[in-house]
Amino acid sequence: MPFQDLRSYLNELREKSMLVDVNAQVDPDLELTHILSEELRIGKKRTIVFNDVKGSSIPVAGNLFGDWERMKMVLGDEPINIGNHLLELVQVPSDTDSMMSKGLKMFRELGGIRPKVHNDLGSDHVDAGKPDLLQYPICRTWPKDGGKYITLPLVITKDPVSGNRNVGMYRLQLYDSETLGMHWQIHKGGAENYDRQKERSKPLDVAVVLGTDPLNIFSAVAPLPNGLDEFSFAGLISRDRVDLAKGSTVNLEYPSNSEIVLEGYVDPSESRIEGPFGDHTGYYSLEEEFPVLHVKKVFQRKKPIYPTTIVGKLWHEDVILGKAVERMFLPIIKFQIPEIVDLNTMEEAVFHNMVIVSIRKRYPGQAKKVMFALWGLGQLMFSKIIVVVDDDIDVHDRKQVIWAMSTRIDPDRDVFTVKGTVTDSLDHASPIFNYGSKMGIDATRKGASEGYMRRWPETMQMPPEVVESVKKRWSALGL
Ligand SMILES: Cc1cc2nc3c(=O)[nH]c(=O)nc-3n(C[C@H](O)[C@H](O)[C@H](O)COP(=O)(O)O)c2cc1C
């Protein structure tokens, strides 16, 4: 792995002056998270380790993914290069020879990513005795939050039928020394495993990891299809196998380098109000019923470090994570929807709420075809507004996008809504929790078969020879 564990990542950041230690006492009630927020807002963006947190003997690490440089350190490469490599693995060459060598390459690579499973965590860890969640420096991030929340956990479950493992990042609300609110949204892998177990009316084993190497943390956020193991995905990115330890009271495995592990269960017959929580959207997510996690056993490093994050109005580190996900998965998205040239899940729109896509348009109705394909593709199902532009528009240049949106649409013809669709659980504007509508904006040039009977005007371009000659004469003109 690029980093053996959380502490070796922190040490390297410290050596590179990308981390600052705060030794003065800090309050986990709002103060700590506001400091993390301010560090990002003023543009310093360093990782911060708080060594003296009021009410706890455990240090807190925050802003782990504060900028693109750190994201690349964690991933070992630019996300798009990793995406291209993932694509190479799934593409099938046409001639027999290269098919065989490709098969061998795939066999070697995929064979080398399966996690290594050990019987236990080893001597670095101790049994923390009777669970006491109140001893951890769990923060309240925003003033009207319903309480304290664990914000950077890896939640591990298994599909009771297939046995496939899922690792997702779902916040956990602290209720008391042994219970947490489990905020896995209905569309996510953990919730799907829970629903399967509900059919059996049996509790579902859950393990929660607080602090592990940053690549495993990233993998928990990655929108992998259910059934694809996040720890194997981390192995695929790092080309190194993740070491896992077997749970002691749960039929689950978790990283051997975990700082703190909570073992427990959710009972399908039980739910409780979770929230409100100051969320990625910049609003407090409303209270809703969610399952309850009962913690039965805790293991931890002898001197554990607790990781945290704050989400909220722009800009927080979830923006870096989201952009890394977008760039990494773009090659795979383009493989499935080949007319796509580029895509921008916009951070100002909380990623899902507005997605700009450029396409190489060849036939009428193609923009709509792309929209519906995206609405059916993994977590892109949450995209509330999709804007499709032609490939002369740079989707990352807001000015170009607004220009295309305002000059290439006839609202009556090119803007439409779809009723009765999936919505993101965090979309408070939808009339019903998890259910609402979508908007498509086709900002591509139109032809006759799309009802445009006039002549589409050309955009202006200066001839290259004029551009070149002016460039050469620039200083001679006294400019
Ligand atoms: C900081 C952070 C907090 C998140 N909190 C939640 C959450 O509380 N509930 C949730 O369903 N998804 C949350 N997510 C998004 C999921 O982690 C993400 O959708 C992931 O792909 C889910 O994995 P899964 O498909 O295996 O369930 C969060 C993401 C980040 C970066």
Q: Is the CB of 168 under 6 A from ligand 1?
A: yes
Closest CA to 382 of 338, 429, 416, 415: 429
CATH 3.40.1670.10 residue ranges of the chain are 337-450
Ligand 1 centroid to Cα of residue 185, in Å, is 8
* CA pair distance 111, 170, nearest whole angstrom: 29
Helix (H, G, I), strand (E, B) or coil at 73: helix
User: Does the Cβ of 46 fall within 6 Å of ligand 1?
Assistant: no
Per-residue pLDDT of the chain (479 residues; tens, 9 = 90+): 789 999 999 999 999 999 999 999 999 999 999 999 999 999 999 999 999 999 999 999 999 999 999 999 999 999 999 999 999 887 766 666 676 776 777 666 677 789 999 999 989 999 999 999 999 999 999 999 999 999 999 999 999 999 999 999 999 999 999 999 999 999 999 999 999 999 999 999 999 999 999 999 999 999 999 889 999 999 999 999 999 999 999 999 999 999 999 999 999 999 999 999 999 999 999 999 999 999 999 999 999 999 999 999 877 999 999 999 999 999 999 999 999 999 999 999 999 999 999 999 999 999 999 999 999 999 999 999 999 999 999 999 999 999 999 999 999 999 999 999 999 999 999 999 999 999 999 999 999 999 999 999 999 999 999 999 999 999 999 99
Please choose, from the candidates 57, 121, 22, the residue with its C-alpha nearest in 3D space to the C-alpha of residue 304. Answer: 57
CATH H-level, domain 337-450: superfamily: UbiD C-terminal domain-like (3.40.1670.10)
Rounded to an integer, what distance in angstroms lies between the CA atom of residue 18 and that of residue 48? 9
Write out the catalytic residue numbers. 279
**Residue from 141, 221, 288 whose mutation best tests the ligand 1 pocket (most atoms within 8 A of CB):** 221
d(CA 41, CA 166): 34
Residue whose structure tokens are 């080309």: 239
Domain with CATH 2.30.110.10 in the chain: 6-307
Q: Which run of H or of E encompasses 357?
A: strand 354-359
Distance from the alpha carbon of residue 279 to the mean position of ligand 1, in angstroms: 12
> Is the beta carbon of 141 within 6 A of some atom in ligand 1?
no
Atom of ligand 1 nearest to the CA of 184: 11
Pick the CATH number of 6-307 from 3.30.365.10, 2.70.98.10, 2.30.110.10, 2.40.420.20: 2.30.110.10
Distances (CA, A) of 416 to 220, 238, 286, 438: 35, 43, 28, 8
Check residue 241 and report its DSSP letter.
Answer: P
Distance CA 135, CA 113 (A): 36
Q: Does 307 sit in the ligand 1 pocket, CB within 6 Å?
A: no
Asked whether 171 lines ligand 1 (CB < 6 A), one says: yes
pTM of the model: 0.95
Give the dihedral of Cα atoms 30, 425, 207, 137; nearest 10 deg: 0
